[in-house]
Amino acid sequence: MSDKIIVGIVQASPVFMNLEASLAKAIALIQQAAEQGAKLVAFGETWLAGYPAWLDYCPNAALWN
């Protein structure tokens, strides 16, 4: 067993306000990193959160009526 592991670090933006498209993008980025030898791929915290962070602070921003 090898003592080394190749880690891929993703520095990319998710697709704004689109969880499904962001997931597809994440899968493509993971595949690309794996093709380059990565055994572990890391994304930033809340990369696939699926909701805008400001909703926690301004809940009325989600209301359209």
The 10s digit of each residue's pLDDT in 28-59 is: 999 999 999 999 999 998 888 766 666 677 76
Predicted confidence (pLDDT) at residue 9 exceeds the cutoff of 90: yes
Give the model's pLDDT for residue 61: 64
Query: What is the mean pLDDT of the segment spanning 18-25?
Result: 93
Could you tell me which of 3, 2, 6, 11 has the C-alpha nearest to residue 36? 6
The pLDDT value recorded for residue 51 is 67
Rounded Cα distance between 51 and 16, Å, is 9
Model confidence band, residue 62 (pLDDT cutoffs 50, 70, 90): low
